[in-house]
Structure 1
Amino acid sequence: MSEAQDLPTEDFPDDGPDEAPARLPLDAWHRGKGARMVPFAGYEMPIQYEGIVTEHDWTREQASLFDVSHMGQLLVSGERAAEELEKLLPGAIATLKPGRVRYSLLLNEEGCILDDLMVTNVTPWIEGDEEAGTEGSWGEPTYYLVVNGAMKWDDIAHLREHLDDDVTLTHLDDQALIALQGPNAATALNRVMRGVPEKLVFMQALDYHFGEWPLRITRAGYTGEDGFEISVPAEFAESLADRLCAEIEVRPAGLGARDSLRLEAGLPLYGHDLTAELDPVTADLTFALTKSRREAGGWMGHAACAAKLENGPESKRVGLVFEGRLPAREGAPVYAGDREIGRVTSGGFSPTLGHPIAMAYLSADFAAVGTEVEVEVRKKRLPAKVAALPFVPHRYYRGK
């Protein structure tokens, strides 16, 4: 089979609006490198350069540069910024220290997921003046949010509706976002920005001036590998991409490899594995509900989520593994005998493991690891087995 048939990117979905797709700051750069462009999340984006499997394997072995500038980058600032965000997010924001990052969720009143996102405390440190006898202090509380590209306009509207007027919401629409991912990402970045990687472990961030370029660098990503996401002014994005790709370990990679990597890592994709009809307990994302806040409440959707936690969900997000090479795609029904017990939400062929994998929502009675089921693909029933997530272990750098 061809790469496109083997991987979960066949007929890669356009999750964006109906109007003509916009162009990213790096659009000309992608085309100059021979990228195949597709509409996604309202933008024309590169799905591949050399080939999805080639780019997937290179990311696992070396380091790849992904353009994720379609994502929404937002700032929420003000003295009550943390308090206001905690009305909408189930994670602990008030105790998030400067430079720390937290995965969280935007929920509605029914406790269902409007989007998943990253929150970073980027409150600035104001240096003191020794001559004037003033000490340094923290500036206005500020939080940096990265939200999904297909949902960013809905998220902005939701935040503006529910955040109090004394909190400022800023859309950083003049920023590009580059992800450098892979086991040698730190090695390559250290040659370009000496000493920066060693200052960060997984889920930490810093602001850094690279010459005249003000950057925000986060040690995180959505591939399961070690890596960094770099927010850069759009006008400097091409120069930064060129500088990073000049390193021998780094090659550009597209959406196709990013999708197959995140699937192997068991990471859910909004609009597919997560939707506004699903709650965090069913989605197996209870880690995003900070324990103290589960009990205290005070956030949108708390009552509904508390009930799910107490009674247990009717279904659960699980992994599925298959033999052979024929992958199950999104929407494929899952059976136990003649009973339909769930649906596949993401699926494809795993280059790392050499067989098909999928994520699905199954009735809770059939969600235990090792449970044997069948998935209908092209009017055939394929045997599958429930597997633990992630399929491929994460290799985030958490320090020595």
Structure 2
Amino acid sequence: MIKGQAAFIVQKRLASTAGLLRTPLYDAHVELGGKMVDYAGFEMPVLYKGQSHVDSHNWVRSKVGLFDVSHMLQHNVSGPDAANFLQKVTPIDLSILPENGSSLSVLLNNEGGVIDDCIITKHGDDKFYMVTNAGCRAKDLDFLRKEAERFNSVKHETFEGTLLAIQGPKAQELLQKFTNEDLSKIYFGQTKFLNLSPIKATVHLARSGYTGEDGFELSIPSTNAEEQAQALNFFNTLIQEYPDIVKPIGLAARDSLRLEAGMCLYGHELAEDITPIEASLTWLIPKTRRELNESSFNGAAKILSQIKDKSTTRRRIGITSKGPSPREGNTIFAEDGVTKIGYVTSGSPSPSIGGNVAQAYIDKKHKIGSNVKIEIRGKLRDAVIAKLPFVPSNLYKP
């Protein structure tokens, strides 16, 4: 690689006649009666025939749901400067991340705002795998390209593949039927390359997910017609052979599941004018990175100052209510119904606990358990500030 030059390889998906992109599992969604919608430029299933939103949501909490998340962008980052590059654009400390370990992190601008959230996996001191959001694809690539120019030897490539999330308390029981690998020895935040019958190619498995339940995310090679057919066959086999425990699940339940689990969605809870500290993600900055100088990662001066001085005025927190559900943009008032103290970022009825749950940014002077008012459809509705997550996580840990 030429010194001072970063290599970028970006692969594109095939588009439909409507101009929307399709994942390798598209045909299965249609056959299963998926209601297809435009999501981040992709034709994605929001619900499936015969399933309500609540049915889908509760199924994942009790059994196993399959989520096609192939619309998300997968990256390989490698080279002598790969770690330094990733530690400049995120606050992660890759020296303490074990090999084949993964962690949530955030891409940061120079003001400490969040460009996107991501999952970073370490496969070696100079070899990393990263997943980012489809909706941020163009700006993420532009950002990463410009940042990589500061480093001598970084190779960055995106690649095509099927990304399948298997989520729910019976996820291990289901997936164990397709591999000789002992999945009980792989814990949350760990990854492994393994074989899954009947897929011929090696699959990257991560014990991870976006629901608060135990589960896995599988990156299945799908660069040619044969590999895509194998991925499609595997997806269909799971559903056809084990209909009592597994169903395909669409975007509607994915959103309510992550909302109950207190997880952020970019463009709602995360944005370029919100720092990780305001987003209640201080835990993403390990102590080893707080001890470094203020230029160690993008926006470090502001972020480290917010941690040290506790200078933020707002924080991401939960809200519970009855009646009409809060929605993005609803204004939150103090109990007096006059003083504005925040706004809703996401809201939904909660199938798991009843009533409504929402995430919001609220003046941090207002504590958990405080009564507030939310303006919904021109009326003030009663609500209570609540701790996140709303539903306890069931992650598989030692």
> Scaled by the length of structure 2, what TM-score is found?
0.88
Q: What is the aligned partner in structure 2 of residue 178 from structure 1? A: 164
Give the corresponding residue for 2:305.
307
Distance in 1 separating the partners of 2:346 and 2:180:
39
Counterpart pick for 1:166 among 145, 153, 159: 153
Paired position in structure 2 for 1:330: 328
Letter in 2 for 1:55: S
Determine the C-alpha separation between the residues in 1 that align with 2:142 and 2:95: 23
- Alpha-carbon deviations, 1:5-48, whole Å to 9, x = none? xxxxxxxxxxxxxx932111111110000000111111010001
Q: Percent identity?
A: 37
- The answer to whether residue 233 in structure 2 is matched with residue 239 in structure 1 is yes
Name the CA distance, whole Å, in 2 between partners of 1:377 and 1:94: 47
Distance 2:371 2:143 in 1: 41
How far off is 1:244 after superposition?
2.2
Query: What displacement does 1:363 show?
Result: 1.0
Q: Which shows bigger deviation, 289-298 or 53-62?
A: 289-298
The residue number in structure 2 matching 1:229 is 217
Question: 5+ unaligned residues in a row in structure 2: which ranges?
Answer: 1-17, 223-227
The C-alpha deviation readout for 1:161-200, integer Å capped at 9, x for no partner, is 112241100101x211000000000000011223342231
1:256 aligns with 2:252: yes
**1: CA distance, partners of 2:211 / 2:26:** 22
Q: Spell out the pairing of 1:242-391 with structure 2 (5 A cutoff).
A: 242-245=236-239, 246-247=241-242, 248-297=244-293, 298-309=296-307, 310-323=309-322, 325-336=323-334, 337=336, 338-366=338-366, 368-391=367-390
Residue identity opposite 1:109 in structure 2: N
Distance 1:226 1:295, change over 3 A: same
State the 1:364 CA deviation.
1.5
**Alpha-carbon distance between aligned partners in 2 of 1:311 and 1:59, rounded to the nearest angstrom:** 38
Describe the SS at the equivalent of 2:365: helix
Give the alignment's TM-score, normalised by structure 1.
0.88
Separation in 2, partners of 1:87, 1:319: 31
Is 2:137 aligned against 1:155? Answer: no
Partner SS state of residue 361, structure 1: strand
**Equivalent residue, structure 1, for 2:112:** 111
CA contact (8 A) 1:192 1:244 kept: no
**Counterpart mapping for 1:4-19 below 5 A:** none
Q: Distance in 1 between matches of 2:182 and 2:299?
A: 39
Tell me, what secondary structure is at the counterpart of 2:202? strand
1:62-211 equivalences in 2 (<5 Å): 62-123=63-124, 141-163=126-148, 164-172=151-159, 174-210=160-196, 211=199
Q: 2:195 aligns to what SS in structure 1?
A: strand
Instruction: Give the aligned length.
Output: 362
Counterparts of 2:256 and 2:267, CA distance in 1 = 16
- Write the distance in 2 (CA, Å) between the matches of 1:328 and 1:371: 17
Cα offset for 1:328? 0.6
Q: Which residue of 2 aligns with 1:3?
A: none
Amino acid at match of 2:154: V
Residue 362 of structure 1 and its aligned partner are, at CA, apart by 0.6
Deviates more, 1:245-254 or 1:38-47: 245-254
Structure 1: give runs of 5+ residues left out of the alignment.
1-18, 124-139
| Whole-angstrom distance in 2 between the partners of 1:81 and 1:196 | 31
- Return the alpha-carbon distance in structure 1 between the equivalents of residues 43 and 81 of structure 2: 37
Output the CA distance in 2 between the equivalents of 1:91 and 1:72: 19
Query: What CA distance in whole angstroms lies between the structure 1 residues aligned with 2:142 and 2:231?
Result: 27
Quick one: distance in 1 between partners of 2:140 and 2:301? 22
How far the C-alpha of 1:237 sits from its partner, in A, is 2.0
What RMSD over aligned residues (CA atoms) do the two structures have, in Å?
Answer: 1.3
Q: Judge conservation of contact 1:57–1:352 (CA < 8 Å) in 2.
A: yes
String of CA shifts for 1:113-133, please: whole Å, max 9, x gaps: 00111000123xxxxxxxxxx
After superposition, give the CA deviation of every residue in 1:125-168 in whole Å (9 maximum; x if it has no partner): xxxxxxxxxxxxxxx72100011111123212211211224110
Q: Distance in 2 between matches of 1:243 and 1:296?
A: 50
| Correspondent of 1:218 among 184, 192, 206 | 206
- 1:58 — aligned with what? 59
